[in-house]
Structure 1
Amino acid sequence: MALVKPFKAIRPTKDKVSFVASRSYEEYPKDELKSVLKYNPFSFLHIINPGFKFDKSITGKERFRLVHNRYLEFLEEHIFQKDDQACFYLYQIGKGDFKSLGFFCACSVADYRKDVIKKHEDTIQHRERLFADYLHTVGFNAEPVLMTYTDNDFIHTIFQQEVQKQPEYAFSTTDRVSHKLWKISDKKTIKSLEAAFAQMDALYIADGHHRSASSNLLAKKMEGQNKAHTGKEAYNFFMAYLIPESQIKIYEFNRMVKDLNGHTKKEFLIKLDEHFRIEKREDGLYKPTKKHHFSMYLEGEFYSLYLRRTNYTFTNALSKLDTQILFKTILEPILGITDLRNDKRISYGYGKHNLIKMKDCVDEGKFAVGFSLVPITIEEIKSIADAGLVMPPKSTYIEPKLRSGLAIYEL
């Protein structure tokens, strides 16, 4: 039984929404970030980068306090407004022929604790604590957790009826992404959606494991400090964006390693032969198209690696995952990489043209070898989550990537 709730969002005014909405802070190259901050006074980046106002780099709790102050300024200057009734917010994001239609809502930390909200990634405790402190100080949540649910005809019909109405927002951003948002305020429709999700056994986190874990940590802290705790307080929930499984797009992360761990090319290929049937490709760029097949680029040549099932046993959902197979058969035993998150010898890449980038990096001597995989499927993610297992880091790059500042949940 999944609990979803409407909430009174803090949102940009219609005339400023296209200026406010920003990509994730980490996605901006330094020059672009500086330009946006200099020439766009309405960008949400001013809130999360408050030191720009003082021409100073500010970190830690001082930054958190200033983020809160910039947020208050956006409210005082009527860049932001607060809705007077709790709503669901239907949001469509699209680029080219790819569109996702989901909705902003408040999800329950109780569901997170009861594993109704399913996870497939490990979190790092110090990052959980840091973001929980951040949320406590700034008093709002502007980064929704991206979650998926099984496609549902009833919910789909409601959404299709809503998108026939005039949207609250309709704008495009400079990266050619279109954005539309509708308020769902009708109480009957809200109750229908709540009831539909109450019949679901699970929701699956696609992106935002640290954000959800930090919200849970904050809720525990606030509950301990509140003698009148009821479970209905805002801190018992966190903002999420829910989309049906069919509208999520999953890309692979390639792996590149800086050296062969002391092996020559011939020695390395011989060791690979234990678990893989190896074929040199003569047809240029080679990208795998099947599970348990890998592309490898080494010393100017592409190879296809086909897993030998006779020497590798599938024991659970994790063991069948290509990122885990690569780790257990090559990265750890042959190349000596045991910590996929922190080892400086390994790097990751994603994107439409990343196979070419991987080849270029190896050709330029930045890395010795590169591996390309096929994308993980939503079914594999669910199998891992249902079994309570954890994927290797950088197993998925997931879209849609949401804009910050479109809807804000106050704690």
Structure 2
Amino acid sequence: MAKIKPFKAIRPNEHEVRNIAALPYDTYNREEAYEYVQQHPHSFLVVDRPETLFGRNMDMYSSDVYHAAKKKLEEWINEQRLIQEETECYYIYELTIGNRIQTGIICCVSADDFENGTVKKHEKTRENKEKDRVCHIMTCGSQTGLIFLACKHNDQIREIINNKKQYEKIYDFASEDNVRHRCWRISKKDDIAFLTESLKKIDKLYIADGHHRAASAVKVAKLYENQNNKNRKIQDYDKENKQLNAENSENEREASYVMSAIFMEEELKIYDYNRVIKDLNGYSKKEFFKQIEKRVEILEESMDEIHPRRKGEFVMRLGNEWILCRFLGEERTSTNENRRINEKERINENSATNVVESLDVSRLQNEILEPILGIKDPRTDKRIEFVGGIRGYEELRRRCDKYDAVAFAMFPTSIEEMMNVADAGLLMPPKSTWFEPKLRSGIFIHKIDESI
């Protein structure tokens, strides 16, 4: 059972929200972040990526950088560009991209749930990235980014979302990527109590996006718990410190909850997450293609764009051609143009290990990237770049031509595959899922320490 509560959000006033709301900090590399902030100086990216307030040679992990984020937050609060709720609330957050709508609940989930298996993860995190966000949270005394969580269908939560118009609408704006963002506030005690009880019925949550933010928030929760336990032992003998003890307890309480957005699985869409390799590991294009032919079936070659149509297929960009490939063992039968994978050629799908090994991104890594191209660890190898499918084939073409090498366009991982991996307690290869639309940072901020 998930432990979920409302919170007193810090959020933009309605006139500033469009200027402040920003894509998550980790969707930009350092140069892209600098360029964006130069054009959008009031974007929340200056808080999430405060190194952009300094010169390009600044150490992005310097304490001065984190304190610049804190100072910017304080400045915006003093200017009332950001306001804080007086009472704890839930929020409904609706995103519309094209004809597709996804709507979720903004809330705080217990940090314990991220450790006891209630919240399930599928991605390995890196210590240096965790440390960065720990420093950011601790310095700002706030969680500034939402954890994107998915859950199975829940009728009561769906009813609450469908009745959103009875609540107070606080935001309605379109971001520059043509995504419409609408938010409603749930502030009445009876409504909050009903939603809290409904959320208790969720037995499993899945991290869709934000593994590093989540891991960092959990580490901060432990730091507060350990420090406050230490303070209690010291202050138990000092009656004058009762107020300080109360403040510490409140800070610990807030730090022990992680600001999150919960969406139901049926509304979510995973896009392809593609790969660009900067060289051919010493092969000529002709030699490389011969190596590929040994490991996959070539279905089609074209100067025009081709897209993978089903699991087991991928498209390779080599030279000026797009080449549709299928992993060996992914034989198909055909009935009225409907294709399916020959189950006899697959390893037992119930095998826990195979939940990961059967992913297309795993097969690409194990059958091509490592044995042919020498990419042993895609998390750290500087020869590989990852490109979210929302950027389209044009970005793959541009990068492939830049390096005169090869790109791979994947068939998207499914929500079911992601959940199966997480349920098995396993991890996906890095950059297996790309969710769109992206939740905006800066719309909601969770203050965890009033003393900062």
Fold match, TM over 0.5?
A: yes
User: 1:371 is matched by which residue type in structure 2?
Assistant: F
Of 284, 291, 294 in structure 1, the residue corresponding to residue 304 of structure 2 is 284
- Larger displacement relative to structure 2 (396-405 or 369-378): 396-405
Unaligned 5+ runs, structure 1: none
Shift of 1:243: 0.9
Structure 2 match to 1:100: 102
Q: Please state whether the residue corresponding to 2:354 is helix, strand or coil.
A: coil
- Larger displacement relative to structure 2 (60-69 or 120-129): 60-69
Structure 2 match to 1:17: 17
The 8 Å contact of residues 248 and 400 in structure 1, kept in 2 or not, is answered as: no
User: 1:224 is matched by which residue type in structure 2?
Assistant: N
Of 242, 254, 257 in structure 2, the residue corresponding to residue 237 of structure 1 is 257
Of 380, 388, 404 in structure 2, the residue corresponding to residue 350 of structure 1 is 388
- Larger displacement relative to structure 2 (157-166 or 128-137): 157-166
Q: 1:283 & 1:22 partners in 2: Cα distance?
A: 37
Q: 2:420 & 2:50 partners in 1: Cα distance?
A: 41
Q: 1:365 & 1:46 partners in 2: Cα distance?
A: 30
Of 388, 396, 421 in structure 2, the residue corresponding to residue 384 of structure 1 is 421
Q: 2:39 & 2:288 partners in 1: Cα distance?
A: 47
User: 2:261 is matched by which residue type in structure 1?
Assistant: Y
For residues 238-295 of structure 1, give each alpha carbon's deviation from its aligned partner in whole angstroms, at most 9, with x where no partner exists.
1001111122221112222233223344543443344322234247322111111121
Whether 1:193 and 2:188 are equivalent positions in the alignment is no
Distance 1:330 1:52, change over 3 A: closer
Shift of 1:216: 1.0
For residues 13-39 of structure 1, give each alpha carbon's deviation from its aligned partner in whole angstroms, at most 9, with x where no partner exists.
2233223323334545644421221xx
Q: 2:47 & 2:313 partners in 1: Cα distance?
A: 45
Of 389, 404, 411 in structure 2, the residue corresponding to residue 367 of structure 1 is 404
For residues 283-309 of structure 1, give each alpha carbon's deviation from its aligned partner in whole angstroms, at most 9, with x where no partner exists.
732211111112122233332222222
Q: 1:133 & 1:78 partners in 2: Cα distance?
A: 25
For residues 171-229 of structure 1, give each alpha carbon's deviation from its aligned partner in whole angstroms, at most 9, with x where no partner exists.
22333222211111122222222222222221000010011101111111111111248
Distance 1:75 1:262, change over 3 A: closer
The 8 Å contact of residues 256 and 367 in structure 1, kept in 2 or not, is answered as: no
Of 375, 390, 396 in structure 1, the residue corresponding to residue 433 of structure 2 is 396
Of 119, 131, 143 in structure 1, the residue corresponding to residue 133 of structure 2 is 131
Q: 1:174 & 1:268 partners in 2: Cα distance?
A: 41
Distance 1:270 1:212, change over 3 A: same
Identity %: 34
Q: 1:253 & 1:105 partners in 2: Cα distance?
A: 28
Unaligned 5+ runs, structure 2: 233-247, 331-344
User: 2:298 is matched by which residue type in structure 1?
Assistant: I
Q: 2:51 & 2:134 partners in 1: Cα distance?
A: 21
TM-score (norm 2): 0.83
Whether 1:5 and 2:9 are equivalent positions in the alignment is no
Distance 1:226 1:20, change over 3 A: same
TM-score (norm 1): 0.90
Of 144, 150, 153 in structure 2, the residue corresponding to residue 151 of structure 1 is 153
Q: 1:164 & 1:66 partners in 2: Cα distance?
A: 40
Structure 2 match to 1:335: 373
Whether 1:325 and 2:363 are equivalent positions in the alignment is yes
For residues 296-334 of structure 1, give each alpha carbon's deviation from its aligned partner in whole angstroms, at most 9, with x where no partner exists.
222333322222229975652001100000011111111
Q: 1:262 & 1:278 partners in 2: Cα distance?
A: 22
Q: 1:338 & 1:306 partners in 2: Cα distance?
A: 22
